[in-house]
Amino acid sequence: MTDTPTETPEAQAPPGRPPVVTPVRVLAGLCLVAPFVATLWVSSYADTSPDLGGVPFFYWYQLLWVPLSALLTVSAYLLVRREERQRRVRGGGDAR
Amino acid sequence: MKDGVNTVALTVFVLFFAAVTVMGFLAARWRRADNALHLDEWGLGGRSFGTWVTWFLLGGDLYTAYTFVAVPAVIYGAGAAGFFAVPYTIIAYPLVFLFLPRLWSVSHRHGYVTPADFVRGRYGSRGLSLAVALTGILATMPYIALQLVGIQAVLDVLGVGGGASANWFVKDLPLFVAFAVLAAYTYSSGLRAPALIAFVKDTLVYLVIIVAVVYIPMRLGGYGQIFDAAAHKFSAVNPATGKPVGSLVSGPQAQWGYATLALGSAMALFMYPHSVTGVLASRSRDTVRRNTAIMPAYSLMLGFLALLGFMAIKAGVGSGVKGYNAQLAVPQLFEDMFPSWFAGVAFAAIGIGALVPAAIMSIAAANLFTRNVYKEFLKPDATPAQETQVSKAVSLLVKVGALAFVLGMDKQFAINLQLLGGIWILQTFVSIVAGLFTRWFHRWALLAGWAAGMAYGTWKAYGVASPTTKHFGGSSTAIPVIGEIGYIGLTAFVLNLAVAFVLTLVLRAAKAPEGVDETASGDYTAEAGDPGVVEEKTLVAPAG
């Protein structure tokens, strides 16, 4: 798939390679970083209270982060995929 | 547990075992390809697995029988410290989301079968590739041996472990049978066997864990009572150290250790050859990315499983028994709490949970030997069919070695080595992951960094004493400069990175030869079906 700049107006718009850092990618990055902050900052959750149905906070908080991190990874995936599709439409094969 | 054989549970266990054995042999016919002699077929299941097969395969691969036994065992013995497995598996997936798709793409383009293949292609360095390959084999071997420990725990509780009085042959016969069967179907079916069996394994595991976390607390008076009993147990003072035997919540002294162990383990997880094998067997780049989003279902399961350690305390498993083997706590809990037939199902889950990873690990180690030692150094003109033959033979050898290891040597030795294996495998992170993004690091600097990390990690781990062993008693020690207790593997990794960084600057200034990079930047984002990927030489011709 070679880039023929005269073919469509869209192909003409971005001169050269699209930027590596884009708002969408920053947002996806934040989604991926959040679980690190939440789980590696141990002193923020090293407590027994409040408990949930008898389970100390320390345990249910970390268990809660399993689905949360999964949701965040899904969000990052959807964001990145959407952007890749846009780039492919705009810039051809190697623009990802 | 020494009160005779539990016939009903044993029967259920044997039935499941027989069923997966049949599946293992039939797997050879599943999605059979035209070019059965190519290593991609035997060693990577034809690189054909879709999202769900990959999910089952990776789940069956990463969450091993040893995990099922060891994680709740630490919780049972020491409390919060064992729960690090949960943050570890939480952050592993956002982490690998960043680099596994790139590894998949470049491996697909160039027909790489192992992580060492990639390092070879990227840096043009046989030495660095050999270092990565040997680290992988060394870290995997004790891991396979520990799968046997998982089966042994189950057999012990079932009453067929033989106890101390039986002679070694009778005692270990069931283990021999299990492993002979495993070796046979792995030999004939390759990666397709564990992929198919993983469906059974993971389904059983989910079923057992869900039932356990609902049913057992009901019998024990609820979670409040369970944690009260645990808090009571951990508050007892250990006469040897003068400190409490455990804690319900990670104390200020333990938090660095908790976090660094979680982070280091997460970074190491997909450096293991068997994890990479599972990833490269998938059909597309998107399959890999989707799996990073759905794998956490297993982490949730692991978290609940860890809680079983607390339930074992409340249920009084092993209480009053001096020197009780904590690894038997969860199997024993199942036998005490469940009706016999369901205990059998639970034991089958653990037993089959050992077979799937053991098969994949032996395949991964065999692929490493074949691609990065045999083909690289011994027989460079090996045909794909010869590669497959060698891989099959080595997979047998690896399993026999693991068996001899567990039977002939102290089990503690296998556990020590597995602990070291985690530290070692983390030292390949710089070469592999940095290499996926940049060619900045110099190959010799990476090799020196690797050597520094390996040496430091081994030396530090050797110096850790515990009440049961003088050396290799744990994986955490004081971090230099910072002074907190932290995971040795991660400290060694930082040293590794620093050495690689500084030496790269030096070598670049000295204009040392860089080696040939056979990859191009577009290779790292290639998707199956992209122009230039479909007719890629690698899918049919001898790869590499």
pLDDT digits (tens, 9 = 90+) for B507-527: 999 999 988 999 998 899 888
Instruction: Please report, to the nearest 10 degrees, the dihedral formed by the alpha carbons of residues B54, B59, B64, B70 taken in order.
Output: 160
Residues B180-231: pLDDT tens digits? 888 898 998 899 999 999 999 999 999 999 999 999 999 999 999 999 999 9
Looking at B221-254, list the stretches that DSSP marks H as alpha helix, in order from N- to C-terminal side: 223-235
Cα–Cα distance for residue pair B410/B417, rounded to 1 Å: 11
Q: Tell me phi and psi for residue B209, to 5 degrees.
A: -65, -45
- Nearest partner of B142 among B422, B335, B353, B342, judged by Cα: B422
pLDDT (0 to 100) of residue B483: 82
Higher pLDDT, residue B59 or B31: B59
Helix axes B296-314, B223-235, angle to 10 degrees: 70
CB-based contact, A56 to chain B, within 8 Å? yes
Q: List pLDDT tens digits, range A79-88.
A: 998 888 887 7
Mutate to test the interface with B, among A1, A26, A31, A36 (most CBs of B within 10 A): A36
Is A70 in CB contact (< 8 Å) with chain B?
A: yes
Contact between residue B251 and residue B257 where contact means Cβ atoms under 8 Å apart: no
Residue in A with minimal Cα distance to B520: A94
Q: Which residue has the tokens 């709740």?
A: B72
| pTM for the structure as a whole | 0.89
Check CB contact under 8 Å for A74 and B225. no
Give the type of residue at B505: L
Number of other residues whose CB lies within 10 A of the CB of residue B458: 16
Q: Tens digits of per-residue pLDDT, B69-86?
A: 889 998 998 899 899 999
Residue listed under structure tokens 């290799």: B472
Chain B neighbors of A33, CB-CB under 8 A: 94
Q: Which residues on chain A are in Cβ contact (under 8 Å) with B289? A: 77, 80-81
Across-strand partners of B478? Answer: B485
- Domain boundary assignment for chain A: 18-83
- B421 phi, psi to nearest 5 deg: -55, -40
Touching check for A6 and chain B: CB below 8 Å? Answer: no
Mutation choice for B interface testing from A3, A25, A39, A49 by most B CBs within 10 A = A39
List Cβ neighbours of B533 (8 Å cut-off, separation of 6 or more): B108, B109, B526, B527
Q: In sequence order, what are the residues at sequence separation of 6 or more whose Cβ sits closer than 8 angstroms to the Cβ of residue B16?
A: B200, B204, B344, B345, B348, B351, B352
Q: Is the pLDDT of residue B116 over 50?
A: yes
> Is A51 within 8 Å of B293 when comparing Cβ atoms?
no
Strands (E) across B425-507 are located at 476-478, 485-487
Q: Do A43 and B255 touch (CB under 8 A)?
A: yes
CB contact (8 A) between residue B289 and residue A59: no
A43 touches chain B (CB under 8 A): yes
Closest CA of chain B from A6, distance in Å = 22
A77 closest CB neighbour out of B222, B224, B293: B293
**What are the pLDDT digits (tens) for B118-158?**
999 999 999 999 999 999 999 998 888 888 878 888 888 88
B415 backbone dihedrals φ, ψ, rounded to 5°: -65, -40
Nearest to B441 by CA among B506, B492, B490, B494: B506
pLDDT of residue B168: 65
Assigned CATH for B7-418: 1.20.1730.10
Judge whether residue B536 has pLDDT over 70. no
Instruction: Look at residue A92 in the predicted model and tell me its pLDDT.
Output: 53
Instruction: Specify the 3-state DSSP secondary structure of A53.
Output: coil
Give, as one character, the DSSP assignment of residue B430: I
- Rounded Cα gap, residues B178 and B159, in angstroms: 16
Classify A55 as helix, strand or coil.
Answer: strand
Where residue A14 falls among pLDDT bands split at 50, 70, 90?
Answer: very low
Please give the angle made by the CA atoms of B104, B106 and B107, to the nearest 5 degrees.
Answer: 60
- Cβ neighbours of residue B316 under 8 Å, at least 6 residues apart? none
Check pLDDT > 80 for residue B106.
yes
Of B255, B521, B531, the CB nearest to A42: B255
